[in-house]
Chain A
Amino acid sequence: MSVFAIVLLAVAADVQVGSKKFTESVILGEIAAQVVRSEGVAATHRRELGGTRIVFEALRSGEIDAYVEYTGTLRAEIYAGKDARDDAALRMRLEEDGLVATRPLGFENTYALGLLADEAERLGVRRVSDLVAHPDLAFGFTNEFLDRGDGWPGLRARYALPQKNVRGLDHDLAYRALLSGDVLVTDLYTTDAEIREYALRTLEDDLRYFPAYEAIVLRRADLDPRAAAALERLEGTIGAEAMIAMNARAKVDGVPEARVASDFLRLSLGLETGAAEDSLAARLLARTLEHLALVGIALAASVAVGVPLGVLGSLRPALGAALLGVAGVVQTIPSLALLVLLIPLLGIGAMPAIAALFLYGLLPIVRGTLSGLWGIPRDLRDSARALGLEAGARLRLVEMPLASPSILAGVRTAAVISVGTATLGALIGAGGYGQPILTGIRLARTSLLVEGAVPAAALALAVERGLALLERRLVSRGLRLSSQGV
């Protein structure tokens, strides 16, 4: 237990850099963390914490100290409905939240129209306005872009685009449609890795239709000045080309984000951050410790609370029934929903994950305790009373030992559920085996999925096995005899 506590404390003392769960954000988070470290300030990158809301709230509440955001997202999503139109107004809004933004890092990640570079050359289009001269081109847009007011409808109006052949497509299918020539123009994000992979050209938004989504580092105003200065070194250093290349290296070539980041810092800023990728063994060890901390703390708490609750419930049948009811309802809340519900109360990271696992563990343990105690034959209860043992002694010497197989069965169920559910903790930044699974999904890389899924399954088996051994030690041999019907 104390080891886990130390691990958690050690993590909390560093500068915490967050990232959202898409590759570009992870690379930028890694760059930010490494540049802070290059100033001699300890920094931890808490990667893939979630979507914009979760990460921004984590920053505002001080759980993380910095992350990379886009100005357009701040205006359209975070401060939607508030005045944040120009830079000064945006700075005011941030200041109210105790936050500071760096100057732009140098690239924008916004909507753009793109087409194969060869086609662009052939048609002679460089700017969106050039499309007006080609009314027969086939357009294929993602459904979101097609429907959003600030997507295709507005774009068509602004540039007076005449094209009629416009289809809705899935994002990944859009690239294939481009290659096969089914569509000639699609929407994309200006730093998509696919731009390099498929040799696409993005058209200049010459009428400034799309809002600016300039990348900036957001940080807390109270951040260590050395860390703040380090983050400012990134201003104006990352161009769109560089960002696209980095995205492609991570996403297409499968280079770990940490190395993409350290290569960038060496080449552009001359910083040797030496962020060599952790070995597989080191990663596994770190994940295992995180996972064990989540499961161990949650399970210990479930036992510490669930068993006494079960004992109380066995004394008052109405309370027992109520407990089972409430615990049963908690069990039916989908894990992801429960995790998200806990964020406003407990923030992100290990705490809400542990709280959710704790709640899930309660039902099997309370139920095991209740049914174990309720199942004790009246003869044995009476014998213990008639012997002259007080209530406490009866519980300790007779009733709990008799209920122990059922209680331990409950603990085993709770533990196995907990090991599996803990993988979801990665969605809110709790780490553990869910982290490689999440990254594997993001990068569509099976090896990473396996790196998380296999140890998680192995741990579940090991925990089950370990608790079975514990059961042999804790449960009297005499009870195993009677369960065999002697």
Chain B
Amino acid sequence: MLTLRGVRVEFGSTPALRGVDLKFERDRTTVLVGPSGCGKSTILRVLLGLATPSAGEATFDGAPVRRETIGAFRRRSGYVIQEGGLFPHLSARGNVTLLARHLRLAPDRIARRTDELCELTRFPEDALHRFPGELSGGQRQRVALMRALFLDPDVLLLDEPLAALDPLVRAELQDDLRAIFRARKKTVVLVTHDLSEAAFFGDRIVLLRDGAIVQSGTVRDLLDRPAEPFVSNFVRAQRRPLGGEA
């Protein structure tokens, strides 16, 4: 569904991706994990045409991601970022329906789809008139998810969507998200720095460091067959709070 071939990205003179090859299978959930600055968010940005590779290319459903084609790809994807990226001047409903209204979809169709999504994401309908500033962090992420899902995209690109939430809300949203991914047959790429979250969602986990892939496989592969000492260190560091190291 999505591929990266030899993609290099530089920010100024600093390389963010050093020649990455990746394939994201249709209807599967892939989790990109790694320490901050490893380039995992940049991969999503390349797929959406928000960052331009200096070498290599990304493809979307077999077609290269280019300036001329990016508009169509973007409408077939949903993108959610850490703080939701909601537009503060629009109400929750305004955010969710912005693109649909711009594309002049029929109002009753928009209303029906909004109801559906409220149910799916368990967002209270009577809060739709509120502005992002009047919503809780968890509610904001649900609105961002509704906005991403509105046109029923094939692909969901989620950049640390739960990182800013407190643990209880986060656990609840994790369950809801996984249910949605499974029920809806989406190609999902999720970025997180949290290995347990990666294990929870991922059919496949890709571990990155310094703009390059260190290992790719199931969580079992990472635990049992680490490709290099960094993988074990990363796993150990993540498990420590659970008391595994004591």
> Chain A contacts of B234 at CB under 8 A?
none
Does the CB pair A379–B89 fall under 8 Å? Answer: no
- The interface residues of chain A, by DSSP majority, are classed as helix
Does the CB pair B71–A383 fall under 8 Å? Answer: no
Does the CB pair A383–B87 fall under 8 Å? Answer: yes
Question: Cβ of A6 < 8 Å from any Cβ of B?
Answer: no
Give min CB distance, B146 to chain A, whole Å.
12
> Chain B contacts of A404 at CB under 8 A?
89
A-B contact pairs, 10 of them (CB 8 A): A379-B83, A380-B87, A385-B49, A387-B79, A388-B74, A389-B99, A398-B87, A401-B90, A476-B89, A478-B90
Does the CB pair A383–B85 fall under 8 Å? Answer: yes
Q: Which of B63-89 contact A (CB under 8 A)?
A: 71-72, 74-75, 77, 79, 81, 83, 85-89
Supplied contacts A477-B131, A478-B88, A481-B134, 4 more A-B pairs, CB within 8 Å: A383-B85, A387-B74, A478-B131, A478-B132
Does the CB pair B81–A481 fall under 8 Å? Answer: no
Does the CB pair B50–A389 fall under 8 Å? Answer: no
Does the CB pair B88–A379 fall under 8 Å? Answer: no
Does the CB pair B134–A386 fall under 8 Å? Answer: no
Size of the chain A interface, CB-CB below 8 angstroms: 26
Does the CB pair B48–A479 fall under 8 Å? Answer: no
What 0/1 readout, one digit per residue, does chain A (350-390) give for beta carbons within 8 Å of chain B? Answer: 00000000000000000000000000000110111111111
Q: Which of A378-425 contact B (CB under 8 A)?
A: 379-380, 382-390, 393, 397-398, 401-402, 404
> Beyond A385-B74, A388-B75, is A478–B99 a contact (Cβ under 8 Å)?
no
> Beyond A397-B98, A481-B131, is A388–B71 a contact (Cβ under 8 Å)?
yes
> Beyond A402-B89, A481-B88, A481-B133, is A386–B77 a contact (Cβ under 8 Å)?
yes
What 0/1 readout, one digit per residue, does chain B (91-104) give for beta carbons within 8 Å of chain A? Answer: 10000001100100
Does the CB pair B133–A387 fall under 8 Å? Answer: no
> Chain B contacts of A486 at CB under 8 A?
133-134
Q: What 3 pairs between A and B have smallest CB-CB spacing?
A: A478-B131, A481-B133, A383-B85
Cβ-closest chain A residue relative to B81 = A379
Question: Cβ of A482 < 8 Å from any Cβ of B?
Answer: yes
Question: Cβ of B147 < 8 Å from any Cβ of A?
Answer: yes
> Chain A contacts of B87 at CB under 8 A?
380, 383-384, 398, 401-402
Does the CB pair B99–A388 fall under 8 Å? Answer: yes
Cβ-closest chain B residue relative to A379 = B85
Give min CB distance, A390 to chain B, whole Å.
7
Does the CB pair B50–A382 fall under 8 Å? Answer: yes
Does the CB pair B133–A482 fall under 8 Å? Answer: yes
> Chain B contacts of A384 at CB under 8 A?
87
A379 to B91, CA, bound (A): 18
> Chain A contacts of B74 at CB under 8 A?
385-388
Partner of B85 from A380, A481, A482 at Cβ < 8 Å: A380
What 0/1 readout, one digit per residue, does chain A (472-485) give for beta carbons within 8 Å of chain B? Answer: 00011111011010
Chain B CB within 10 A, most for which of A386, A402, A482: A386
Does the CB pair A476–B79 fall under 8 Å? Answer: no
Does the CB pair B48–A386 fall under 8 Å? Answer: yes
> Chain A contacts of B133 at CB under 8 A?
478, 481-482, 484, 486
Does the CB pair B79–A482 fall under 8 Å? Answer: no
